Structure 1
Amino acid sequence: MRNISVRLTRPLLAALASACIAACGSSDDTNQLALNVPSPQWQDQIVYFILTDRFNDGDPSNDNQGAGEYDPANNAKYSGGDIRGIQQKIAYIQGLGATAIWLTPPVANEWWDPLVNYGGYHGYWAADFGHVDKHMGSLDDYRNLSSALHKTGMYLIQDIVVNHTGDFFYYNGAWDARNPALYWARNTASVPVTAPSQAPFNMDDPTDPAQQAAAIYHWTPDISDFNDENQLLNYQLYGLDDLNTENPVVRQALRQSYGYWIDTVGVDAFRIDTAFYVPQAFFSDFMYSSDPAAPGIRQVAQSNGKTSFLAFGEGFATDAPYQDTNSLKIESYMADSNGADILPAMLNYPLYGTLGDVLIQQHPTAELAYRIQNMMQVFKRPYLMPTFLDNHDVDRFLADGTMAGLQQGLLLIMTLPGIPVIYYGTEQAFTEQRGAMFAGGYASGGRDHFDPTAPLYRFIAELTSLRKANKVFSRGAAMILDQNSAGPGAFAYKMTYQSTVAIVAINTSDTDALTRTFATGLPRGTLLENRALAGASAGPLIVDADGTVTASLPPRSAFVWITLR
């Protein structure tokens, strides 16, 4: 299955994959693998996001492929983490309370790009969308990880790319839209290949008239103006070769490539990289195509018993305070102008941006109140939108923020609508964006970082336990109770689901202790038990005759109270 032809049907793809597994000799009896498990209720899940190369090295024999791409001392090169390494740490991840893992793309990549002096250890520079990268392991390894997760009640989210391949060509000094062969140049020192190895993506040379006519790529230079919609959708993102996703041949090949991972590995969900650089219409086709040779992802998933397959896109854009321009753009990738579904969800970047403004930059807490109310109004499915404090594309929260602010942020994403995502290493107080968890990896300090007794690990485990035990946090309606429009200070909201009510309150001020009164709408004498806290201690709340409760909020404290059942 090295090359996937656009003429291969899904049944033939599955047969070839089975033949490959049989020939290679699976380390686990195929009939005993738990791959096709039903979809979970995604709004109730908690995700642990792993940059595979930097997480755990389960098979040192695949670290160095001998092409100069491996050097754990260099952030630009491979460190050695792999799929087996993830499987070896399932108990550690499950102990944190995560119910699903999201791993970076495991597909065969461009290992080193001399044009930018950086490597594809992260997985986003594909050379073959249908093959496991040698650094990551084998197809067997991936299937065994999927099965091991499923057998422990967890789920597998694969990061995918549809916008581009790796950086295999460029335009040298100029560009002529009328003649894309002019000034085109091959990246001849790319490692390990100088062109994609998978059809039809290997047709990337416009100096060949047949390949130019096939129009698998947009023959364009790099984006120079990110405010130009044409450039955004059709030019190269930082040198990465831009696929012509309007081309039916490209669309079919991408559906086949990613349907393969559901059929063969049992992947439960996709995270879709750089969604903003692809037209919304592509995703309607990707998800819902009725092509019998390469059906849409939703149909492929359903045929494997996954009736609620989650696909969430990355729209890397935040909103200014009290604005929602980018929120509306994000929503346009989840539903079209007629209200028809496109992608089930998108990453909640606007909430991420406001959390950083309020918890790190000390903006008024009223900005967070606005963002929460706005996301519940603008987004069709806010409960399915992953929420997060940081990831591999931005600075770690602790690079600029405080431990108290991080604890407040964790408490907020665990009690608000959306699917909480914990970036690997947060539980060990990482400040290095892509540092390694294992001793031999980049910026590890020469030691492993899988400590279940670490304070943040225990704190997160308490929060995940609270969320999983109380559906009010994953399914409840949010109502703002308190906010400060002048600066840092009090912020509180109520979550209600069926007969359960929870009150969440924080104080973002570093200096001022506050006493605040909240209108709960609950009967007099109702007892709300304190179930989580950070930065202070607190007892229960008892509702007064007027339906209010009064709480003391020390500086940088955070609390959760919930009605007893």
Structure 2
Amino acid sequence: MKHIKILKTIFKVLSLLIGVIPIHALDKHGWRKQIVYSLLTDRFATTESVGCDPEDRSYCGGNWKGIINKLDYIQDMGFTAIWISPVIKNIEGKTKYGEAYHGYWPQDLFSVNPHFGTEQDLIDLADALHERGMYLMVDTVVNHMGAPDTKNIDFGSYNPFNKEEHYHPMCPIIQSDPLSLEQCWIGTEDVTLPDVDTENPFVIETLYNYIHDHVQKFKIDGLRVDATKHVRQTFWPGFCESAGVYCQGEEWTGEAAAFCEWQEYMDGLHNFPVQGVAAEAVVPVNDRALRKTSIAMNLVAHHCVDSTLLGLFLESQDAPRLAALNNDFNVLKNAMTLNLMSDGIPIVFYGQEQMLKGTHDPLNRPALWITGYDTEGPLYKYTTKVNGIRRALINTEDGEEWIRTRTHAVAVGDNLMLMYKGPVITFITNYGSVNKEYILKMPASEPMVDLLTCTLIEVENDILKTTIHRGEPKILYPYRLTMRDGFCADEMSLQGEIPGVFMGHNEIVRSDNT
């Protein structure tokens, strides 16, 4: 009888635990190993052929069934998770800024957006991902609701916060005032976002219960949290604990110390300090941008609790498309390499692999179906290759240590940055496909292999000598580990690189005669 009682107690505890944490959900350590494809549901895939003019700022017909139909496109590129737009019902109608196709103007937290499909469609998407061993991150908005008429707000139309007392009093945001950031309203006179009172006990309890049930119902594996800095910091630990899944917040600032403070309150953040300068490095005339990028990487690694849990991205719905800034293919390859091989959880915005253009909203949010989902495109194929390298490194016997190791970035000259992460050295350049080469020598104790080209790079007298042709990136890995882990088994270049002229320790020699 005693054993039966113990078993009953164990089963009861397990049942309670399963009720709190979805069995399919990843903890933060599991998310560290993922590669995320971020998409706007309305613009990624549709179930019927429709036109889409992004300048209209209107719904174009993308939906969850469409995503399911195009999961091969995402998975074949090497991505292991997707991050989709907010799924809840938004306000309807045309405003000065268009319709709420993006999902950030909520009206009802307890209903899904009918433009994207039904509740069952969303569950089917989660199931389809899980059957593939992939994961679902959902964008989450709890800071505010949406209102098209700032002078006549109908609080009764919202669910569950349908009383004016559930909101902070309307006031304009003053960026230099922390309390104003937390309690005043985002928006303009044309469209405003009533700010939910996250100090109100009823609101707090409702949101904590809501996110727990929301994650459970739709089998969500992780949350992207919108407008993080517009809610008091102490709200977030309870919210993420109630969700029971990894939370990655939007804290938009370029100052590393202030940014990293927020990681005390949630698992991860979008790495804005690095993104802000790394995106600038796509423009070659900005010769110091790679230096600034290396400094930002090192500051974030130093100040943050764990920089390997941050989300690293270069493109987003709020940022210019890189191909709009520079259409040099080798520059875009370097940007993708940086995106996928440095610290944190890589996040690639839909269409980055198709070199979509658009310098600003709404032009940077076109429908992806205009590309025909080309899997033979050069950057799609290159992204697939680098994702394969990253995943293979994670799966080596040292993979857990590698993925947890913080990158140390070193700028060498104005147009080259080295990223040291465990035994891997990644070369990033931004001078492009010009008819020039950089020649580098650096101390090394063993031969290395460029995993991108499977070229052997010999070491002579403890000096590694390598040449960077036409701004190509490199991913170097020790030869002995390359052999142990099965990289380049059928492609190894036995002749290695052609010796050149080398000068100085960690110095670059530039030659115009390639």
1:164 corresponds to 2:128: no
Q: CA deviation at 1:80?
A: 0.5
Query: How is 1:196-235 mapped onto 2 (pairs within 5 angstroms)?
Result: 196-199=157-160, 201-204=161-164, 215-223=165-173, 225-235=174-184
Does structure 2 retain, via aligned residues, the 8 Å contact 1:82–1:137?
yes
1:435 corresponds to 2:384: no
Which residue is 1:48 aligned to? 37
Q: CA deviation at 1:113?
A: 5.0
Does structure 1 retain, via aligned residues, the 8 Å contact 2:52–2:367?
no
Q: CA deviation at 1:556?
A: 2.2
Q: CA deviation at 1:160?
A: 0.3
Does structure 2 retain, via aligned residues, the 8 Å contact 1:517–1:551?
yes
- Secondary structure at the counterpart of residue 414 of structure 1: helix
Q: CA deviation at 1:235?
A: 1.2
* Partner amino acid, structure 2, of 1:410: M
**Which one of 219, 226, 237 corresponds to residue 266 of structure 1?**
219
Which residue is 2:313 aligned to? 388
Which residue is 2:440 aligned to? 516
* Partner amino acid, structure 1, of 2:333: Q
**Which one of 43, 53, 57 corresponds to residue 46 of structure 2?**
57
Does structure 2 retain, via aligned residues, the 8 Å contact 1:358–1:364?
yes
* Partner amino acid, structure 1, of 2:143: N
Which residue is 2:340 aligned to? 414
Which residue is 1:493 aligned to? 419
1:186 corresponds to 2:182: no
- Secondary structure at the counterpart of residue 37 of structure 2: strand
Give a deviation string over 1:404-440, Cα, whole Å, max 9, x none.
22210111122111111110111111113100012xx
Hey, what's the Cα distance between the residues in 1 that align with 2:115 and 2:53? 13
Give a deviation string over 1:274-329, Cα, whole Å, max 9, x none.
111111011123134xxxxxxx22xxx3xxxxxxx2100001222xxxxxxx2222
Hey, what's the Cα distance between the residues in 2 that align with 1:75 and 1:228? 35
**Larger relative helix fraction:** 2
Change (3 A) 1:369 1:246: same
Number of aligned residues = 437
* Partner amino acid, structure 2, of 1:368: T
Which residue is 1:39 aligned to? 26
1:148 corresponds to 2:128: yes
Hey, what's the Cα distance between the residues in 1 that align with 2:388 and 2:372? 22
**Which one of 539, 542, 559 corresponds to residue 455 of structure 2?**
539
**Which one of 361, 365, 368 corresponds to residue 290 of structure 2?**
365
Does structure 2 retain, via aligned residues, the 8 Å contact 1:217–1:242?
yes
Hey, what's the Cα distance between the residues in 2 that align with 1:329 and 1:257? 30
The TM-score normalised by the length of structure 1 is 0.73
Give a deviation string over 1:209-248, Cα, whole Å, max 9, x none.
xxxxxx210111332x322223211111012111111111
1:103 corresponds to 2:77: no
Hey, what's the Cα distance between the residues in 1 that align with 2:290 and 2:159? 50
Q: CA deviation at 1:544?
A: 2.6
1:91 corresponds to 2:44: no
Hey, what's the Cα distance between the residues in 1 that align with 2:41 and 2:409? 38
Q: Is there any run of 5+ residues in structure 1 with no aligned partner, and where? A: 1-34, 64-69, 171-184, 189-193, 205-214, 289-295, 302-308, 319-325, 336-341, 439-443
Hey, what's the Cα distance between the residues in 2 that align with 1:435 and 1:285? 37
Hey, what's the Cα distance between the residues in 1 that align with 2:425 and 2:261? 32
**Which one of 456, 459, 467 corresponds to residue 552 of structure 1?**
467
Moved more, 549-558 or 374-383: 549-558
Give a deviation string over 1:418-464, Cα, whole Å, max 9, x none.
111110111111113100012xxxxx3xxx53111111111000000
Hey, what's the Cα distance between the residues in 1 that align with 2:202 and 2:219? 25
Hey, what's the Cα distance between the residues in 1 that align with 2:279 and 2:287? 9
Give a deviation string over 1:334-391, Cα, whole Å, max 9, x none.
11xxxxxx20010001110121232323325322221221111111121111101110
Q: Is there any run of 5+ residues in structure 2 with no aligned partner, and where? A: 1-21, 359-363, 485-514
Give a deviation string over 1:164-192, Cα, whole Å, max 9, x none.
1111552xxxxxxxxxxxxxx3157xxxx
- Secondary structure at the counterpart of residue 231 of structure 1: helix
- Secondary structure at the counterpart of residue 474 of structure 2: strand
* Partner amino acid, structure 2, of 1:222: P
Hey, what's the Cα distance between the residues in 2 that align with 1:480 and 1:316? 22
Which residue is 1:466 aligned to? 389
Hey, what's the Cα distance between the residues in 1 that align with 2:198 and 2:210? 14
- Secondary structure at the counterpart of residue 407 of structure 2: strand
- Secondary structure at the counterpart of residue 365 of structure 1: helix
1:328 corresponds to 2:257: yes
Percent identity at matched positions? 24
The TM-score normalised by the length of structure 2 is 0.80
Does structure 1 retain, via aligned residues, the 8 Å contact 2:282–2:325?
no
- Secondary structure at the counterpart of residue 118 of structure 1: coil
Which residue is 2:114 aligned to? 134
Change (3 A) 1:195 1:549: farther
Hey, what's the Cα distance between the residues in 2 that align with 1:414 and 1:230? 36
* Partner amino acid, structure 2, of 1:44: K
Hey, what's the Cα distance between the residues in 1 that align with 2:128 and 2:97? 37
- Secondary structure at the counterpart of residue 514 of structure 1: strand
1:378 corresponds to 2:303: yes
- Secondary structure at the counterpart of residue 331 of structure 2: helix
RMSD over aligned Cα atoms: 2.2
